Amino acid sequence: MKRNLITGGAGFIGSNLARKMVSLGEEVVVLDDFSTGKAENLRDIRDKIEVVEGSVSDLDAVKRAMRGIDNVFHHAAVVSVVRSVDDPVTTNAVNIGGTLNCLMAAREAAVKRFVFAASSSAYGDNPTLPKMEDMKSEPLSPYAISKLTGEFYARVFHDIYGLHTVSLRYFNIFGPYQDPKSLYAAVIPIFITRLLAGESPVIYGDGEQSRDFTYIDNAVEANLLAVRSTNAGGRVINVACGARYTLNQLVTKLQELTASKTSPTYAPRRAGDVVHSQGDISLAGRLLGYRPAVSFDDGLKATVGWFLRNRSNSSD
């Protein structure tokens, strides 16, 4: 049995990954400062995992959590483009400084595998679609810069120190346990909760911007494949579904799933937002054996179903 550390393990992706690993009989340690992560995300597995409360910005806390760890899944981060524009200093401290702390502690602890949660925002507005890993990076926000810097650090620690790192560039992950309440929440949970409440979802721009929305189970599977990989050390790999949908299409699908007739409201485009995003997942297939098992439509159905069952917890 491997001992696995998930930083940000009380957050959306981290808690889903922790739940899956527990189901596989793996030993799980969660490091989280609960600034955005939630204890209730781990309620059903709390007695089966170890939780270390602390920030990745605190090297001592990271070192405590890293003791005896075989594999690291580094998901702790300030995860919002908009928040990074509002507060680039905190974004830098957590996403860059915290990642460096995790890599340093992992090297010291002789960790076997280190998986870094990277972001498709690194591609920026390069018009070429789909996005391929060898394309020029054109980050548009402090968040994108911070995640791209994390990739560089992960590669350097692989090349110089021999730490086996893999960076997974996520494309708009969505699903159960995603928080709709935050000022900086992702679009799908916000849209779902507003439609269920009979309120108008707000689209920034004309709604024709498109995203490669990727259901959480696909991202979790990519993490499990990455930590088992033998030929992906130091690499950056897209995790997506390989298709894209506009925000207008998204709202239409969610209106059908929620039986809502509420129309969206349009507002000016926000600074730092990418217009179109779609990932080429051929490298993930070759290096990891990754294939998205859950389609966009099936993922939306599952997500709406989860929010319907948990309305008291996901609405104000």
Q: What are the catalytic residues? A: 143
Write down how long the chain is: 316
For 249, other C-beta atoms within 10 Å of its C-beta total: 14
CA atoms within 13 A on the CB side of 289: 9
- From residue 175, alpha-carbon distances to 215, 241, 242, 303, 309 in Å are 6, 14, 17, 5, 13
DSSP string, 165-213: EEEEEE--EE-TT--SSSTT--HHHHHHHHHHTT-PPEEESSS--EE--
User: To which residue do tokens 């402090």 refer?
Assistant: 142
Determine the Cα–Cα distance for residues 118 and 134; give it in Å rounded to an integer. 15
Q: Structure tokens of 45?
A: 């597995």
**Among residues 234, 63, 62, 69, which one has the least CA distance to residue 154?**
234
